[in-house]
Each structure stands twice: as C-alpha cells, then as structure tokens.
Structure 1
C-alpha cells in the first residue's frame, strides 16, 4: 500500500481520485501483489469498512507491517484537527504527503508546505509562500505576493487577490473574495479568522473573528485557543 488518506468525510472522498492520479503520474500505482495502493484511515466508532471502493482501516492497522505506507495526508477541513492528525502521524514516523490535482496550476517563485492539497482547477500564481497543510478546494486561486500560514482552508471558488497575508488556521468559505493589498500595506486576515461564504473582504480581519457579507462585517468574536 502506497498512500493513506486520513478521513472518510467529504474532503477525504474528494482527494482520493487526486491521490490515484498522482500515484499514476509517479509510476508507482501498481504493486506486485493484491494489496490496494490507497486506503482510508478512520478511527471513528462507526467507521465503514469500505469507502468509495477503497478499504478503510484504523490508525493502529496502518502502523502494522501489513499496511505500512510511505505517505499519508490528513483530509479534513478543520485546520486544528489536521494539525492533531499530522502530529500523530509524525510521531508514528509517517511521511506527510501533499497532493496537487492534474488541472491545478502553480507558477514561478512559489513555496508550498508539506501536507497541502490543491484540488482541481486551483491556481497559485507567482511569488507566493504557503505554509503547511493548506487546502485549496476546486476553482480557488491565490494571486501574486501572498503569504498564507499553516493549516489554512479555502472552500471552493475562493478568490485571494495579490498581497494578502493569511494567518494560521484561518478558514475561508466558498466564493469569498479578498480585495488586493499592496506591498507596503497587505490585506491581513488574522490567525484563526473565519470568513463566511460569499464575503467580500475590503479591509483586514482581526484574529479569531468571524466576518460575513458584502462588504464583510464582524458578526462574532471567537475563543482564542490556549
């Protein structure tokens, strides 16, 4: 078995075909025996045994010699849960993988951290720094000179224009748009901020706040984790 996907929820099921395509591209998708190339990992009480035609195993089974893999990805939408999963995997000496769909585009001068997922039709343009375990769902884009922290999540069709800085663990809902910042005054989305679906963000967003609407406005302040 070559690849494990931690999570059988929506994100896990969506990234499985990307993982299959990537294994084919790396020419390691076929083994000499009958073991599957990709498995799901799910420790929940009511976990299925099969998900979309792929086996589902526990984390303990994953660590056994029979199922030992070289690569795993945390395929859940919540950034803090992703971090907990990745910390557990690293402690178990598993390699955190990244996935990039065949239709995704990455231009020059881009650095993307381990554990990231770029889904179909996403675009990351020029001179961009992205941290660990970034998730960009379908049709999202990140434009020039952006800085994105660790464990940030973009739902589908997020429009992140140039010179935007996004803090760790921020979540951006489907169809949200960020006005372009400048090199001297980037638009800043604070750590742990939540930007609601369809929001049009025209000014910086404070850490651990929720903004919604057009223009985006503050509706809630979140508890800051210890």
Structure 2
C-alpha cells in the first residue's frame, strides 16, 4: 500500500462504465411505442404499454401489455391476446381466438439463406381460423391454421394445419383430433 494520503472525496463515475462523471456517454435514440393508425372495433380493451400500428382490431377484443401488432394485421372479434405476444405484418386472426403469453408470429422464412432485411416481397402471410387457441411461447411461421385448432405451448408451426386438432412439438404435429370443431 502507498503511504500517500487518500482523498476523502471519491471519484464519481458513471455506473457500469468506469468513465468519470461529466464525461459524455453515448445516448441511444429513443423511439416511443404506442398506438398509431389503428382501426378499433367497439368494446376493445388495451393494457399499456403496447405497440400497435396500422392494424385492424375487431369488436370486444382484449390486448394485454407488452404486445406488438404490426401494420396490415387484421384481428377478429372477441379475440384475447395475452402479454408479450408479437404479431407481425400479413397476419389475419379469425374471431373468438386466444393468443397466449409470448406467442410469436413470423412472416420471414429466410428464403435466401438470411433475413429479408425489410424486403417485403419475401414476407409470407399467416391465416388463423376462428376459435383457434395458441399456447404460451408458440411460434407460428407463415401458415394457415384450421378453425377450431389448439396449438400447444412452445409448439413451432411450420406447415399448414388443415384439420382441427391439438398440435404440439417442434415441428408441431397432430396429437389428437377434435370433434365438433
């Protein structure tokens, strides 16, 4: 140890950077989330914060917090979308559906070996029929899902689902058929 007297005044530093106080730290550009250019039906409930833009939301639909719904999306009536769901462009969801926490809809199939990087000509559409239930953290690629289907938690839907049933796994497979769907 040094015999030099220590200053009683500690050096102030920016937390986590090790830089002296007063030195300029890079600051991010902040973009606010919110609601813009959305067509709402009657009786819609939205729990903030959300990021909704350029979409259409049907009557009596519920949207939980931390949900993002992008432009061109159409959500039917009486749909419940739980927290942290992500619904990208080109998705249509029918009436009376349930989208659970963390469900992700993907419109980019990486057809050229990488992401489309905003090239919308490479995006593909997803159509969810009426009365479909999608479980927590399911991932839905560009597909069509038959009315009355149930998608299990964590499932990855990579192909069209043409008959109602319970689908689970990665890739999602028919676990059980459903009658009277």
TM-score by length of 2: 0.66
- Residue of structure 2 equivalent to 1:207: 163
Aligned to 2:52: 106
Deviations 1:161-201 (A, max 9, x none): 2311000000000000012x2xxxxx101100000000011
CA RMSD of aligned residues (A): 1.5
Counterpart CA distance in 2 for 1:217 and 1:102 is: 35
Distance 1:144 1:207 in 2: 25
Is structure 2 residue 132 aligned with structure 1 residue 170? yes
Q: Which of 92, 102, 106 is residue 147 of structure 1 equivalent to? A: 92
Q: Is the 8 A contact 1:158 1:174 kept in 2?
A: yes
* Higher radius of gyration, 1 or 2: 2
Whether 1:119 and 2:64 are equivalent positions in the alignment is yes
Would you say how many aligned residue pairs link Structure 1 and Structure 2? 124
Flag structure 2 segments of 5+ consecutive residues without an equivalent.
Answer: 1-41, 108-124
Partner of 1:32: none
Flag as ranges the 4+ runs of structure 1 deviating above 2 A: none
Residue 129 (structure 1) shift: 1.1
Deviations 1:3-34 (A, max 9, x none): xxxxxxxxxxxxxxxxxxxxxxxxxxxxxxxx
Q: CA deviation at 1:103?
A: 0.6
- Give the gaps of 5 or more residues in structure 1: 1-95, 182-186
Question: Structure 1 residue 122: deviation in Å?
Answer: 0.5
- Per-residue deviation, 1:102: 1.5
- Asked if the contact 1:193–1:206 (Cα under 8 Å) also holds between the matched residues in 2, the reply is no
- Aligned equivalent of 1:133: 78
Match of residue 97 from structure 1: 43
